[in-house]
Chains A and B, each alone.
Chain A
Amino acid sequence: MPIATYAGMAVTINDEGFFEDPGQWTEAMAPEIARAQGIDELTEPHWQVIKFMRTEFAEKGTGPTVRVLGKTSGVSVKELYQLFPKGPAKMAAKIAGIPKPRGCI
């Protein structure tokens, strides 16, 4: 497993860069992960989505899909793509330190 260093702490990530252990994540790490994803500054709506991802993961064991995010996070799908242009569900999950959303089969 690859190791990454965020906010001075070593964390375990998988080949795609998702956290193996969401417990290792702290808020201080988010801006750094975001910058690596091409997001220079985390604004208030970014944080709203990131916190929502954390809560959903804690409750359900998986992050929500884009469509569910659009229905429940208070941010529309269109805005979600403006905030996280490379795919909101995956990017926000990465920045929030949770595994890749399982999605549907």
Chain B
Amino acid sequence: MISHDGIVTKRIVMLGGGTGGTLSANRLRRIYPREDIEIVVVDQNDDHVYQPGLLFVPFGLAHSEEIIRSRRHQLHKDIEFRQVSIERVDLDADIVHLGDGTELGYDVLVIATGSILVEDETEGLTGPGWMEKVFTFYDVAGAAALHDALEVFDGGRLVVNVVDMPIKCPVAPLEFCFLADWFFQQVGIRERVELTYVTPLDGAFTKPVASQRLAGLLEEKGVALVTEFNTGEVDGPGGRLVSYDQREVGFDLAVVVPLHGGASYVARSPGLGDELGFVSVDEHTLQSAAKPNVFAIGDAAGIPTSKAGSVTHFEGEVLVENIRRFLADEPLDGSYDGHANCFIETGFGKALLIDFNYDTEPLPGHFPASVGLPLLKESRLNHLGKLMFQSLYWHSLLPGRDLPGVGSAMPARGKDIEGAR
């Protein structure tokens, strides 16, 4: 569509330069020569945060500067990076309107703007007490402020609350509970701290076998579990979470995971997203329901799997293949199976691993085959796996390389399918 000296080039525009935007732009750059396809990545800032690291910041196990790198530097040199906000997408005209008043046309558009925290949707959450006794660790400022608060916390009731699903990395708040138990033992005040996990779900987690196992771990670690609690109000000064059905949980320090939504420009782009601002795409091909030249990847996609970096990585392979097929007029590949793989840090140098997809819930066994990392079981090896993931993230995942031994589809071998029943 763009003509330079008579040569016609096509343009792929990637909205969002986080996990999904970066890894798919780099993969696309590898399959298309520069002369054939122009690739443009748009993001509002140049700070790429390694978000799994946010879990460790409150406990002093990571510092915020260590988990942030330049976005631009994670992109292949032949990818254009535009640092500007996004106003809206005009699906009929194939144009993105940018915050600086300019327009950007595309042949293929990928929505990779992730999810945003919508604290304001919960009454009182950002009112008095916010960042004093009510915190979140889901962004850099919150995680750092919570670190300062934990340093001086000398006992009392600490509650961890998920307001509602969907959230990024649904296991992260559970990991926070496990690490808090470890942390307060290290500083010698565990017996003075009452830990409670408050969730809207009817168990510790969404999937039955894992839910049971994780509820067991909470109990072992002395963390109380409150279920089916739909937070309607956070009362900072009064130190209370109040549910819509008028139940209350008292706290001295609250760690809240706010409601999530899609990026706000999605709502300003008719036809693009659903009620929460997530983009409606086919769950197997990642193609938009509204326009065939639009795709979504990662947290921005409204599909029934976890919002996680591992999911984004597995989707990347299918997304890039489907963009290639779309541009070559071939039928799309419907092979994305909802595969997710999450390490769950449990404290004391151990972690648990879960692996699942649309059809198979997390089961015990080993990953990726019968000799491998233990599934749904605490082990030191899994903890090392979680630590290693940070380096793999910057050096393999973002550059768009395949991870050794780990393909996009969920491996069934190694899973104890009978034993779980």
Q: Chain A: residues with CB nearer than 8 A to chain B? A: 64-68, 71-72, 77-78, 80-81, 85-87, 102-105
CA gap between A70 and B164 in the complex, in Å: 13
Query: Are B276 and A85 in touch, CB under 8 angstroms?
Result: no
The contact sample of 24 A-B pairs, CB cut-off 8 A, is A65-B165, A66-B164, A66-B230, A68-B274, A77-B232, A77-B244, A78-B244, A80-B244, A81-B232, A81-B244, A81-B245, A85-B245, A86-B245, A102-B304, A103-B165, A104-B165, A104-B304, A105-B165, A105-B166, A105-B206, A105-B207, A105-B304, A105-B305, A105-B306
Query: Are A72 and B275 in touch, CB under 8 angstroms?
Result: yes
Which residue of chain A has the shortest Cβ distance to B121 in the bound complex? A67
Write the B272-289 contact mask toward A (1 if CB under 8 angstroms, else 0): 001110000000000000
**Number of A-B residue pairs with CB-CB distance less than 8 Å in the complex they form:** 44
Is B78 an interface residue, CB under 8 A from the partner? no
A-contacting residues, B156-179, CB 8 Å = 164-166, 170
Is B228 an interface residue, CB under 8 A from the partner? yes
CA gap between A81 and B206 in the complex, in Å: 22
Is B259 an interface residue, CB under 8 A from the partner? yes
Query: Are B304 and A67 in touch, CB under 8 angstroms?
Result: no
Q: Chain B: residues with CB nearer than 8 A to chain A? A: 164-166, 170, 206-207, 228, 230, 232, 244-245, 259, 274-276, 304-306
Specify the main secondary structure of chain B where it touches its partner: loop
**Chain A positions within 8 Å of B304 at CB level:** 102, 104-105
CA gap between A105 and B208 in the complex, in Å: 12
Task: Tell me which of A77, A87, A105 has the highest count of chain B C-beta atoms within 10 A of its own C-beta.
Answer: A105
7 more A-B residue pairs beyond the given contacts A81-B232, A105-B304, with a C-beta to C-beta distance below 8 A:
A65-B164, A71-B275, A78-B232, A78-B244, A81-B245, A86-B245, A87-B230
CA gap between A66 and B245 in the complex, in Å: 13
CA gap between A105 and B232 in the complex, in Å: 21
**Chain B positions within 8 Å of A102 at CB level:** 304
Least distance between A36 CB and chain B CB atoms (Å): 19
CA gap between A67 and B206 in the complex, in Å: 17
Given A81-B244, A104-B304, A105-B304: A67 and B276 interface contact (C-beta under 8 Å): yes
CA gap between A66 and B200 in the complex, in Å: 11
**Chain B positions within 8 Å of A66 at CB level:** 164, 230, 244
Least distance between B326 CB and chain A CB atoms (Å): 25
Which residue of chain B has the shortest Cβ distance to A102 in the bound complex? B304
